[in-house]
Chain A
Amino acid sequence: MIRVRAPFLPALLVVLAVVAALPLAVNNNSLREELFLMFMLITLASSINIIMGYTGYVSFGHIVFFGLGGYFAFYLMQNFNAHFLVAALAGAIPASAIALVIGVPILRLRGAYFALATIGINEAMRTAINNFEPFGGAVGMFFNFSVYDTYGGARNAALLAYGVMVVVALATVTTSYLIRRSKFGLSLMAIREDQDVAMVVGIDPARAKVVAYVISSFFPALAGATFFFKNGIIEPGVAFDLLRSIESLVMCVLGGTGTVAGPIVGAALYEWLRGFLITTPALANFQLFLAGLLLLVVVLFVTAGLVGWLRNRYPVLRAYIQ
């Protein structure tokens, strides 16, 4: 169909880039630190959205790729003095290869069975690495601080990590957009609506799902590599934290699954809300309760998420917000 589209993607990327540049322009390190986390969450939520929102597969244990990417990259930096950028890429590739290997069998499962299997895989990986001595076992691995000298000191290394995280987030969002607008994306959404019908119209669901799964594993792996590079320490419990996995699902739902902007809005909102709850003394004690309550309200009454709700409420927005 030939129609002038609103330049959604360029506009979105420009907005994100401006936000990302903000802390550098005003030289505010703590804002930069908060945005580092936010871009990480955008990456996680947008990646999950590819397999969950578009394809309809609830990958509960998606954080496993964040952990694996982190571990592989850390191992390379620690033992072979690999440069961070090289290590991050070299770490994300085997993580995605693992996604391919496990994706083929587990994507045959549907619904709740798939969700349970992904939890099992994350937990199996966590407990196995807890026993895996080359990766430091339960103690994990840690850098000597002098590692950061290569990058011009720890401060510059943190700056580099921020830059990389922003680029990873923008790449994730771009990929997410391109998939949604592509024929491949259409076949994913067809699978989401009805796998059997999808098959009838000539889609190979097994193949499409695995491709989507592998793509959605690549960006969390890069984010993991970046996060643990900056962190300086990696441990099994922090790397394969199921809670972080669930949080990224929550962000997706908050913003609206299956939309490009949804996970971004969700991640930003979730982060802001958490910060607000923590720093408001009167609410700090009840923050978990309030977080739960809010989630319940969204799940019960705003099923489509914020972006989805806006699109439904004001159909004119549909051309502008994907």
Chain B
Amino acid sequence: MSVDALVPSAIDGLMLGFVYGLAAMGLTLIFGVMRVINLSHGPVIALGMFVVYVLFTGAGVNPYLGLIAAAGLGILFGVAIYFVAVDRIINAPELTTLLATYSVNLMIVGVATSVFTTTPRAVDISLGSVGGSGVTILGTHAVAVAIAIAGAALLYAILFRTRIGKSIRAVANNRAAAELMGIDSRRVLALSFGIGTSLAMTSGALLSTLFSFTPLSGATYEVKSFVIVVLGGLGNPTGALVGGIVLGLLEGVSTVFIPVSWVPVLEYVIFIAILLVRPTGLLGARA
């Protein structure tokens, strides 16, 4: 419709894409290392939102400090989920792991809705904005992009610059061989699940500074993460970040050309098309 909106919408979409990408990196890391599609991804994102919310409204903790708490809790929580729900069936067919993580999803949603109800919450934070002449960049969005990039960089530093990162990559490549090299694969798998969960909770914490949310909000981001992960190639963290940016841009730009309500249709059609034509994603599976 209006091309005037093209540039600002592209910028908006691009910025949000980084946050989507961060969430999807968590999902794809877990898949890459242990071939598990984590269906508790959405509720975990919502948990990240509520960590920030509770600290902010309860104790007046700055949302960005709350974010660090969410990231830390994410590791612990992820490791816990791994040992409770995944460890025993790590070699089972995908249906089993899908349902095991889905059962975790049910439990989190069940507890969260009885504690927080489904009334929408928001974290009232404003960092002003810069710009003019149609392009406005919000402070919160700019900070979100910076943190998302920092999060991605940190993940890379861990994966490629540390000993534990080396073991994670080894286990992802070939678990049996890694075990022969004396790597305790259980520990590595649990830690990977922890890092993946931590990424999801961090992105949830970031999203809480941008939009309002309920304990059920995670579902939307979970489906988006699936689309992103497929775009970028299942198991490929770089791909997830790129996929996130692509999806963000697509959401932003497509509103200029097609009615808003058709945007999700377009997203899913692209999703299916990529799966069929190039199931390894735009960048190829696994870095």
Residues of A with Cβ closer than 8 Å to B?
A: 52, 56, 58, 60, 105-106, 108-109, 111-113, 115-117, 119-121, 123-124, 127-128, 130-131, 246, 249-250, 253, 257, 285-293, 295-296, 299-300, 303
Tell me if B95 and A52 are in contact (CB < 8 A).
yes
Tell me if B94 and A120 are in contact (CB < 8 A).
no
Tell me if A116 and B275 are in contact (CB < 8 A).
yes
* A121-B223 Cα distance, complex, nearest whole Å: 12
Point out the residue from A105, A113, A123, A250 that lies within 8 Å of B223, measured CB to CB: A123
Tell me if B110 and A291 are in contact (CB < 8 A).
yes
* A303-B226 Cα distance, complex, nearest whole Å: 26
Tell me if B104 and A113 are in contact (CB < 8 A).
no
A118 to chain B, nearest CB (A): 10
Tell me if A112 and B94 are in contact (CB < 8 A).
yes
Tell me if A288 and B113 are in contact (CB < 8 A).
yes
- What is the chain A residue whose CB lies nearest that of B262? A131
Point out the residue from B105, B114, B276 that lies within 8 Å of A286, measured CB to CB: B114
* A221-B113 Cα distance, complex, nearest whole Å: 33
Q: Main SS of the interface on chain A?
A: helix
Which residues from chain B contact A124 at a C-beta distance below 8 Å?
Answer: 265, 268-269, 271-272
Which residues from chain A contact B114 at a C-beta distance below 8 Å?
Answer: 285-286, 289
Point out the residue from B110, B113, B264, B275 that lies within 8 Å of A292, measured CB to CB: B110
14 pairs from A and B in contact (CB 8 Å cutoff): A58-B94, A106-B275, A109-B276, A116-B275, A120-B226, A120-B268, A123-B268, A124-B269, A124-B271, A131-B261, A286-B111, A287-B110, A296-B84, A296-B85
Decide: A109 near B279, CB < 8 A? Known: A116-B230, A131-B261: yes
* A115-B98 Cα distance, complex, nearest whole Å: 10
Tell me if A117 and B99 are in contact (CB < 8 A).
no
Tell me if B92 and A303 are in contact (CB < 8 A).
yes
Residue B102 CB within 8 A of the other chain: yes
- What is the chain B residue whose CB lies nearest that of A286? B110
* A108-B227 Cα distance, complex, nearest whole Å: 19
Residue B158 CB within 8 A of the other chain: no
* A6-B102 Cα distance, complex, nearest whole Å: 37
A176 to chain B, nearest CB (A): 18
A294 to chain B, nearest CB (A): 8
Which residues from chain B contact A130 at a C-beta distance below 8 Å?
Answer: 261
* A131-B259 Cα distance, complex, nearest whole Å: 10
Which residues from chain A contact B230 at a C-beta distance below 8 Å?
Answer: 116
* A164-B88 Cα distance, complex, nearest whole Å: 43
Which residues from chain B contact A303 at a C-beta distance below 8 Å?
Answer: 89, 92, 96
* A119-B39 Cα distance, complex, nearest whole Å: 12
Which residues from chain A contact B95 at a C-beta distance below 8 Å?
Answer: 52, 58, 249, 253, 257
- What is the chain B residue whose CB lies nearest that of A294? B103
B28-67 contacts to A (CB < 8 Å) = 31, 35, 37
Which residues from chain A contact B276 at a C-beta distance below 8 Å?
Answer: 105-106, 108-109, 117
Residue B135 CB within 8 A of the other chain: no
Which residues from chain A contact B84 at a C-beta distance below 8 Å?
Answer: 296
Which residues from chain A contact B262 at a C-beta distance below 8 Å?
Answer: 127, 131
How many A-B contacts are there with CB distance less than 8 Å?
Answer: 118
Residues of B with Cβ closer than 8 Å to A?
A: 31, 35, 37, 84-85, 88-89, 92-96, 98-100, 102-107, 109-111, 113-114, 223, 226-227, 230, 234, 259, 261-262, 264-265, 268-269, 271-272, 275-276, 279
Tell me if B107 and A293 are in contact (CB < 8 A).
yes
A2 to chain B, nearest CB (A): 34
* A289-B215 Cα distance, complex, nearest whole Å: 14
Which residues from chain A contact B272 at a C-beta distance below 8 Å?
Answer: 106, 117, 120-121, 124
Tell me if A127 and B268 are in contact (CB < 8 A).
yes
* A300-B275 Cα distance, complex, nearest whole Å: 30
* A115-B99 Cα distance, complex, nearest whole Å: 12
Tell me if B99 and A253 are in contact (CB < 8 A).
yes
B119 to chain A, nearest CB (A): 16
- What is the chain A residue whose CB lies nearest that of B96? A299
* A224-B110 Cα distance, complex, nearest whole Å: 28
Tell me if A112 and B107 are in contact (CB < 8 A).
no
Tell me if A120 and B271 are in contact (CB < 8 A).
yes
* A299-B109 Cα distance, complex, nearest whole Å: 19
Tell me if A115 and B94 are in contact (CB < 8 A).
yes
- What is the chain A residue whose CB lies nearest that of B269? A124
* A58-B99 Cα distance, complex, nearest whole Å: 11
Tell me if B275 and A117 are in contact (CB < 8 A).
yes
Point out the residue from A120, A246, A300 that lies within 8 Å of B100, measured CB to CB: A300
* A116-B99 Cα distance, complex, nearest whole Å: 14
- What is the chain A residue whose CB lies nearest that of B31? A112
- What is the chain B residue whose CB lies nearest that of A291? B106
Known contacts A52-B95, A121-B268, A303-B89, then 4 further A-B pairs from the complex at CB < 8 Å, ordered by chain A residue: A250-B99, A250-B102, A288-B109, A300-B100
Which residues from chain A contact B110 at a C-beta distance below 8 Å?
Answer: 286-292
B284 to chain A, nearest CB (A): 14
A277 to chain B, nearest CB (A): 11
A190 to chain B, nearest CB (A): 16
- What is the chain A residue whose CB lies nearest that of B92? A303
B90 to chain A, nearest CB (A): 11
Which residues from chain A contact B109 at a C-beta distance below 8 Å?
Answer: 288
Tell me if A300 and B106 are in contact (CB < 8 A).
no
A134 to chain B, nearest CB (A): 16
Which residues from chain B contact A128 at a C-beta distance below 8 Å?
Answer: 265
- What is the chain B residue whose CB lies nearest that of A296? B103
